[in-house]
Every structure is written in C-alpha cells, then in structure tokens.
Amino acid sequence: MVKRHRPRREGTDSSFHHVMLKHAWTIQGGFLSGNADLEYEVPLKRLASALGRPPSPMSAPPLTLVPAPPPSRPCSSAPALSITIPGAAMPIRTINALALSLALAIPPLAVTPLAAFADEMPGRQFADVGDFRVAYREWGEPGDPAVMLIHGIPLNSVLFSRVGPLLAEQGYHVFAPGQLGLSYTDGPMDADHSLKGQAEIMTDFANQVMPGPYILFGHDLGGGIAQIMVTDPELKEQNQVRKIVIGNSAVLDMWPVPEANAAIAKAKSAEASQIFSADNVREIVKNFASAGLMQPEETLTDEILEDLYGNYAENESTRNHFIEYLKAMDNRLTLEASPQMVMWNKPAMLLWGVHDPFQPPYVSGVALARIMPHATWEYLDASHFYPLERPQEVVDAFVAWDQQ
C-alpha cells in the first residue's frame, strides 16, 4: 500500500474530493503489476484539468471514475471517487506520471510564517562521542518518543529548525546531530568522512546521548546515512532504530548530483584550500541551498544564512573538513546499502517533495519504493529542502504515519 495524505483541514470543503489512484501492478522488466493504491485529496476544479491533460506517457488505458470505498481515515464529507486504470501492466513511468499529475494539481499550502520560528531555534549543544565533538540541536522532553533527524549537504541541523519544535509540540523528543564536514561537529582531519564514517558517528551519538529506541529520519545524504545505519552488518546490531523515514535521499548510484560533482572535482584538486575560501564556500552553500527551495529569498533568512556560514567563515579547519567530506562522497556505499533495504521489516515511510530538482520522486523515489514496497510513500508539494519550507506538512505526515 502506497499512500499520500494531505494535512487535515478543519470543517468540510465540498470543493475537495478524496481520490484513490488504483492499478494492478508487478515489477517485471521495468513494468509494474500487483495491487497499489495512491490516495489524494484533489481540488474538484483541478481534477478534470489533471486528468484532461495527462503527461505524454499516458497514451494507453482509459481512465474511469467510479464510486470508491470510504477511506480508512476521516476526510472531507465530499463523496469519494476512484480513478481506475484497467488493462494490462504498464511502465513504471506511466504510473508515476499520473501520480505526479494529480499531486502537482494540488494547490500549494501557505508556508508557515518564518517569524513564528524565530524564537524556537535553540542554540547548539555539544557531546563528546569518541574522538568527535558532535554538535546537535534538541527539542522536547525526556521520556517522550525519541527521534533522530539527519541532514544532508550542504546544510547542517538548521534544516530541521522548524520541524524540531513542531515535533516537540506533538510529544516527541527530537535530536538533530550535525555531520562532520557540514556542521559545527569537529574531529580528527584524518577521520572517515564518507557516509559510512558519518553513520558510525551517528550510531555512537545515539547510543551515548539518546534514550532507548528511536525513529530515524534521514534527508538527502542523511537518508543515505540512515540506510547504512540499518543495513551495515556491524552498525545495525548497535543501533536501536524502531522506525525509519527517508526523504529525497541518495539512493543506489543516483548521486552525486551534477551540482555536487563540480565541487567534488575542485576538492580533489591541488588548489582546494585556495578554492574553498570562506567567501567561496559561502557562495557554494547559498547557491546549492537556493536551488533546492521553492522560495529561497523568503526561506533563507539572515538567521539561517548566518547559521550556515558562520563556522565556515570563522574556522579554516571546518573548511578543510568540508573538502574532506566532498572528496569522500562515493555512491558505492549506497549501491550496497539501498538494495538491502528490502530486508527492513519495521515501519518505514518515504517522504518526497515532488518539485525536487536533485532527487526527483520519479527517479530516486521510485527506485527506493520498488525496493521497499511495504513502505508508506508520502508526496509533499515542495522542493528538496522541504523541512525548511513545509515544516507543518512534514510533521502532519510524520505524526499520521507514526500513529497509524
């Protein structure tokens, strides 16, 4: 069962209809067959538009609208509709194209005012974990269910500065540690900066700082780290992950993305220390972050930019760790870890922003969904760095999945 749930709306709205996209599918030579449901709440006025202008791959089986069974969760009182695609198996790109046509037809939700989070971004704490001084943010109360949030490149734990307090309000104890080379975390320059090395740091951090079993949420390269944490023969025996969320993640060999490849080449050059000056790193971080946001000017506030830039500007050692991080980026680690996610037998959610230019859902998202057919798949009307722009939607999806 693959589902996407919109955040709950108060009251009823007859302009929205609950829609189920249903098709029999299996995975066979690039085709799908079996059974899968994709659930949406779609604006009635846009439904005809979405179905009347299907993407070009939708050339074959006709679409029919028939009464659908009541949804398993409360929704608006508007009658439900089922979109059924009859006939033989169809290419995965076709299934995904229709799913995205519906998802993209949903109007964007209002972004939570950034000012609302101004007083809720806590200062960093530090924990000595082996040879490392791990910088992390923490929200919530001891005794509440624990959650670890792992960021990716080029951000640090500020990526979750708006999600953390909202999860705490919902009764979670949240920890967001920083990766070595991308944050205020410090350690030996000759340490392993690869995703495997980061996974070891995160596992040790969890065992030393976090209480008991926890939910693991990895985004971007943090998603690659999460996959390694739960599949590596040694690490999976050490951690206490009870559920996993993977968002817009590095999967298989579908990374590094072109934007990162250019920086990797420079990091491996003899002039790396001169190329990665404070000003240049500032430009790299801002450009990369902006490309993964729908509203970069509104989202990247001065406070967030200062949080991202400060350590790079002040510490040459941090810039050198950044260089080592880039040099260590190697998709062979996820080529090994991603296929093993088929063995993950605990609750899982794939949380993808449909406008992601780096790890689009129809590439890395579909690839991981095929490996993890048991996982819940949630679409968000968002780009890559959605925790900054759609924090309430992220929390709504997280809580609904965790409580089901």
Mean pLDDT value of segment 148-177 = 97
Which one of 12-26, 85-99, 114-128 scores highest in mean pLDDT? 114-128
Contact partners, residue 88, CB within 8 Å, separation at least 6: 61
Range of weakest confidence among 232-236, 326-330, 360-364 = 360-364
Residue 45 has pLDDT above 80, yes or no: no
Burial of 275 (0-12, 13-18, 19+ CB in 10 A): middle
Query: In whole numbers, what is the pLDDT of the chain averaged over residues?
Result: 77
Mean pLDDT value of segment 79-105 = 39
Question: What's the pLDDT score for residue 247?
Answer: 97
Question: What's the pLDDT score for residue 123?
Answer: 80
Residue 323: CB atoms within 10 Å: 23
Dihedral over alpha carbons 130, 134, 137, 142 (to 10 degrees) = 10
Question: What's the pLDDT score for residue 56?
Answer: 31
DSSP state of 110: P
Residue 78 confidence class, pLDDT cut points 50, 70, 90: very low
Range of weakest confidence among 25-29, 84-88, 114-118 = 25-29
Question: What's the pLDDT score for residue 40?
Answer: 34
Mean pLDDT value of segment 376-398 = 96
Residue 104 has pLDDT above 90, yes or no: no
Question: What's the pLDDT score for residue 256?
Answer: 92
Q: For residue 20, is it left (φ>0), alpha (ψ between -120 and 50) or beta? A: beta
For domain 114-403, give the fold.
Rossmann fold (3.40.50)
Mean pLDDT value of segment 56-79 = 33
**CATH 3.40.50.1820 residue ranges for the chain:** 114-403
Q: Residue 242 in 3-state DSSP?
A: strand
Mean pLDDT value of segment 117-134 = 80
Question: What's the pLDDT score for residue 368?
Answer: 96
278 vs 309: CA distance, rounded Å: 8
Question: What's the pLDDT score for residue 125?
Answer: 96
Mean pLDDT value of segment 192-215 = 97
Question: What's the pLDDT score for residue 317?
Answer: 92
Residue 129 has pLDDT above 70, yes or no: yes
Residue 354 has pLDDT above 50, yes or no: yes
Question: What's the pLDDT score for residue 362?
Answer: 87
Phi, psi of 170, deg, nearest 5: -90, 5
Which one of 33-42, 197-206, 247-256 scores highest in mean pLDDT? 197-206
- 245 DSSP β-pair partners: 217, 349
Mean pLDDT value of segment 211-230 = 97
pTM: 0.73
| Helix, strand and coil in the chain, % to nearest 5 | 40, 20, 40
Residue 380 confidence class, pLDDT cut points 50, 70, 90: very high
pLDDT cut 90: percent of the chain above it = 64
Residue 377 has pLDDT above 60, yes or no: yes
- 128 DSSP β-pair partners: 133
232 vs 392: CA distance, rounded Å: 32
Residue 9 has pLDDT above 90, yes or no: no
Mean pLDDT value of segment 28-46 = 34
Inter-residue contact 316 to 272 (CB < 8 Å): no
Question: What's the pLDDT score for residue 35?
Answer: 37
Question: What's the pLDDT score for residue 396?
Answer: 98
Question: What's the pLDDT score for residue 290?
Answer: 95
Residue 369 has pLDDT above 80, yes or no: yes
Residue by residue, DSSP assigns 29-79 as TTEE-S-EEEEEEEEHHHHHHHHHS--TT--SSPPEEEE-PPPSS---SSP
Residue 32 has pLDDT above 70, yes or no: no
Residue 121 confidence class, pLDDT cut points 50, 70, 90: low
Burial of 303 (0-12, 13-18, 19+ CB in 10 A): middle
Dihedral over alpha carbons 238, 242, 243, 244 (to 10 degrees) = -10
Residue 134 has pLDDT above 50, yes or no: yes
Dihedral over alpha carbons 263, 359, 282, 307 (to 10 degrees) = -140
Residue 110 has pLDDT above 70, yes or no: no
360 vs 389: CA distance, rounded Å: 17
